[in-house]
Amino acid sequence: MIYLDLDGVLVNFIYSLLYDLGKVYPEEHEGKWFYGEELGITDEEFWAPTVGKPRWWADLPWMPDGQAIFKTVRSFAVENNLKLKILTHPSNDPASWAGKAMWANNNNLLQDMVMTLDKSCIAKPGDILIDDSDTNVGLWSEAGGSAILVPRRWNSLYQERDQSMPEYILKALRRLTFE
Ligand SMILES: [Mg+2]
C-alpha cells in the first residue's frame, strides 16, 4: 500500500493560510515546520482562517507540482500492483474533516481517502508513506513502515526542493520497492 499525504504534498496548505493571515513566509524558519508562535501570533490566530470553514479545506489549490506528483504516484502504484490511498491529518476542527471529505469527493477520491489524527497507527511493514513532515516520516518509520520525505521549504530536505518532485519521488519509490 502507498499512502500519499494531502497538505503540503498535493495541495498548498501553508501558502494559502499565510495569504489569509496576511503574513509572509518566515524565512528565518526555513527548513522547519512552523505554527503561530514562529509567525508572532497565537495558535488560535494561526488556525482562525480555517475554523468552521469546510470550504477553506475543500477549495485548497493544488501545489504547483501536486497534480504531477499524484499522476506519477498513481501510475507507479498501478504498474506495481500496489493500492494507493490519500492519507491526511485534519486539524482539530470538524470543519477540516468535512472539507477534506469534500475535496476528496470533488476529485473522485472519496473511496481512497484515509483521515486520522495519528498516521503512524496504520503503518505496516511494506507500506510506504509519502509526506512532507519530518515528524510523520519519523513516526511512520519507527512504526515499521517505509517513508519518503518530499523536500519542501518547511522540512529538513528544503535544500533539495528545486528539482522535479515527481522524479524525486519516483526514484525513491523504485529504490524502496526493489530493495
Ligand atoms: Mg503534509
Question: What's the pLDDT tens digit per position in 39-66?
Answer: 999 999 999 999 999 999 999 999 999 9
Would you tell me the crossing angle of helices 66-79 and 165-178 to the nearest 10 degrees?
Answer: 20
Instruction: Using alpha carbons, list the distances in angstroms from residue 125 to 2, 8, 28, 86, 147.
Output: 11, 25, 37, 18, 11
User: How far is ligand 1, taken at its centre, from the CA of residue 23, in Å?
Assistant: 20
Candidates 27, 56, 26; CA nearest to 41 is 26
Percent of the chain with pLDDT over 70: 99
User: How far is ligand 1, taken at its centre, from the CA of residue 6, in Å?
Assistant: 6
Give the pLDDT of residue 3: 98
User: How far is ligand 1, taken at its centre, from the CA of residue 14, in Å?
Assistant: 10
Average pLDDT of the segment spanning 156-163? 96
What is the longest distance spanned by two Cα atoms in the chain?
47
Tens digits of residue pLDDT in 109-155? 999 999 999 999 999 999 999 999 999 999 999 999 999 999 999 99
pTM of the model: 0.96
- The owner of cell 503503518 is 123
Tally the domains of the chain.
1
- Mean residue pLDDT of the chain comes to 96
User: How far is ligand 1, taken at its centre, from the CA of residue 167, in Å?
Assistant: 19
Ion ligand 1 neighbours (CB, 5 A) are 5, 7-8, 132
| 43: Cα within 13 Å, side-chain hemisphere | 4
User: How far is ligand 1, taken at its centre, from the CA of residue 2, in Å?
Assistant: 15
Judge whether residue 82 has pLDDT over 90: yes
We report the CATH number of the domain holding residue 54 as 3.40.50
CB 176 within 8 A of CB 130: no
Give the pLDDT of residue 128: 98
Q: Which helix (H) or strand (E) holds 146?
A: strand 146-149
Instruction: Map residue 29 onto helix, strand or coil.
Output: helix
Q: Where in the sequence is the domain holding 141, given as residue range(s)?
A: 2-177
Give the pLDDT of residue 178: 80
Judge whether residue 179 has pLDDT over 90: no
Q: Give 7: exposed, middle or buried? Use CB within 10 Å, 0-12, 13-18, 19+.
A: buried
